[in-house]
Amino acid sequence: MTAFRCFLTAGLSALLALPAAAGAGPGHPSATTATVRKHLVYFKDKAGTPFSVAQPDAFLSGRALQRRQRQQIAVLPRDLPVSPAYVQQVKAVAGVQYWYSSRWFNAAIVACDSATLLKVQALPFVRSAQTLNRAQLGTATQPKTELPAAADQVAGTRSQYGKAYAQAQQVGAVQMHDAGFRGEGMQIAVFDAGFPGVNTASVFASLRQDGRLLNTFNVVEKSTDVFQRDSHGTNCLGIIGGDEPDRYQGTAPKAAFRLFITEDQPSEHPVEEANWLVAAEYADSAGVDIISSSLGYNTFDAPSASYSYADMNGRTAISTRAATVAARVGMVVVNSAGNEGNSNWRYIVAPADADSIMTVGAADSLAFVAGFSSRGPTADGRLKPNVSAMGVATAIVTAGGAITRGNGTSYSCPVVAGLVAGFWQANPRLTAQQVISLLERSGSLSTNPNNDLGYGIPNFARAYNLANPGAPLATRAPLSRPDFFVYPNPIQGADNLYLQLDAGFRAAPLEVRMFNARGALVAQQRIAATAAGTVRLDAADLRPGVFTCLVSNGREQRLVRFVKL
């Protein structure tokens, strides 16, 4: 797995539909395998494109556009797909295997030999090309050495969380869940090396049964098969989305997920950064809210050129540049800092150096920095990491469904990604950058941040109170109350659905948002202020399923759930 292997211890349809050159498809190299390598080919412009920023629904989903609109982020020429005419001309070059295009970089990822690459570079609209893997396709290097496993420990004091209690409690996720925020309505993309067992393990049963596993995409093989390869992705996904009460609970157990394999684990080349870019653009187009990436890049297999610390300046590495754009389009990018703290490198690795993302370091259960956790600052002097969380003896889920423990910023990253999901769910009007800022301000070192732990350990309650000074969490009524509920529950067919209001939600205009089990906003209505104790909700057009209903009076929120048969 790229770089972070040593961290271990234990337009959507168009993207998938792009064909390779005849007879030379991905995974089936031609007779010139020995010389075929992947390259990132940059175009000079997007001339002749049929796409327009005035009609973004041609290449961005409705959810992606809603995310931008909420944050007042304009659709820019950067977001336009590459020119189809350029794509066709590149594909027409004999010997080219066409893999992907990149909107943000205005580029294409192709595989070909060096002679064919010269022909591609001679095309009048091609600006430059960058080789992404120097080893022959299909060759493999040995995986990097893993850190020694941490000793197993006694389960947490809250039986509901099992061994995951300490990591959830440390960042306030237990209080977040008690308040009713478990990631409902939020979409998280996880980039990693593989997810074996996610399709079978009991910890992920509700994720599968609720329909919250929205899609899978193996960027390495250009397929939808992700339940294979390295189990690092399974470990990280469980920390966020694991949901088996009285055994294991993640930090956002009711979020919806999109899973991506971007890592070709046996080797170490910049092509994996290009895969990260492809996944990030896919996530953007799908309307993802949060990217959780426990990945990093600094040293590559020879003869690919490795990065230097000077390159960790926020503008050099492919993955860093991709993460920066992902942040610019309104996603919260959460990325591991790296495990180089005890090595000669010592510092963060790409894309942890990116501007405007949340880089996560590792601490132990007492909030002391882990020796292996990569340190800041960036090469251009910016504070990193942004925050830290439990990355020592973190409870993780194995591919076989067992619960064990491991060390690494790979594991502190998803702890924080789940925290981001619940906090943003609780404060849906915030922008991505406001979410990051408030969580930083909630940190244990917020008044004196450093380049070991950043702003320290973030905390849901502190961040919530900063975002809601007029109704702090400590003094407000519980989000779910016995005198605030919907009925009948479940409802059937065209039955009327009613909302019983407590005293605090009467005589105030209400905003009601309904989310399905996949996290999509499926209904929204405004209710005029009334002194009545009961109001009618419009659920007639909803399909059968499980729904989360978030009700706001402008000062605070209530959460109720119901089932439609």
Angle ∠(347,352,357) on CA atoms, nearest 5 = 140
Contacts of 406 (CB under 8 A, 6+ apart): 8, 9, 10, 147, 149, 150, 235, 393, 394, 396
**Owner of token pair 């007779």:** 31
Between CA 19 and CA 26 the distance in angstroms is: 9
Between CA 264 and CA 297 the distance in angstroms is: 13
- Read off the DSSP letter of residue 343: S
Q: Which two tokens stand for residue 366?
A: 């007492």
Q: Provide DSSP, 186-222.
A: -EEEEEESB-TTTTT-GGGHHHHHTT-EEEEEETTTT
pLDDT average per 10 residues of sequence, the chain (565 residues): 40 41 36 72 95 96 94 97 97 96 98 96 97 57 34 49 95 93 94 97 95 95 94 97 95 96 88 97 97 96 91 97 98 98 97 98 96 98 98 96 96 98 94 98 96 98 92 66 80 82 86 83 89 87 86 84 83
Which residues are marked as active site?
192, 232, 410
Between CA 560 and CA 490 the distance in angstroms is: 12
Closest CA to 141 of 251, 302, 13: 302
Question: What pLDDT does residue 196 have?
Answer: 97
pLDDT digits (tens, 9 = 90+) for 534-564: 899 988 888 888 888 888 888 788 888 888 8
Question: What pLDDT does residue 22 have?
Answer: 32
Question: What pLDDT does residue 159 have?
Answer: 80
Q: Which two tokens stand for residue 136?
A: 């022959």
HEC per residue, 91-103? HCCCCCEEEEEEC
Question: What pLDDT does residue 33 have?
Answer: 47
Question: What pLDDT does residue 268 have?
Answer: 85
Q: Against a cut of 0.85, is the pTM above it?
A: no
Question: What pLDDT does residue 541 have?
Answer: 86
- Rounded to 10 deg, the angle between the 460-467 and 432-441 helix axes is 120
Between CA 510 and CA 534 the distance in angstroms is: 12
Between CA 137 and CA 30 the distance in angstroms is: 11
CA atoms within 13 A on the CB side of 231: 19
Answer yes or no: are the C-beta atoms of 422 and 177 closer than 8 Å: yes
Domains of the chain: 165-428 (3.40.50.200), 485-564 (2.60.40.3080)
Between CA 485 and CA 561 the distance in angstroms is: 8
HEC per residue, 165-178? HHHHHHCCHHHHHH
Q: Which two tokens stand for residue 289?
A: 């809210």
Answer yes or no: are the C-beta atoms of 7 and 147 closer than 8 Å: yes
Q: Does the N-terminal peptide bond of residue 124 adopt cis geometry, omega within 30 degrees of 0? A: no
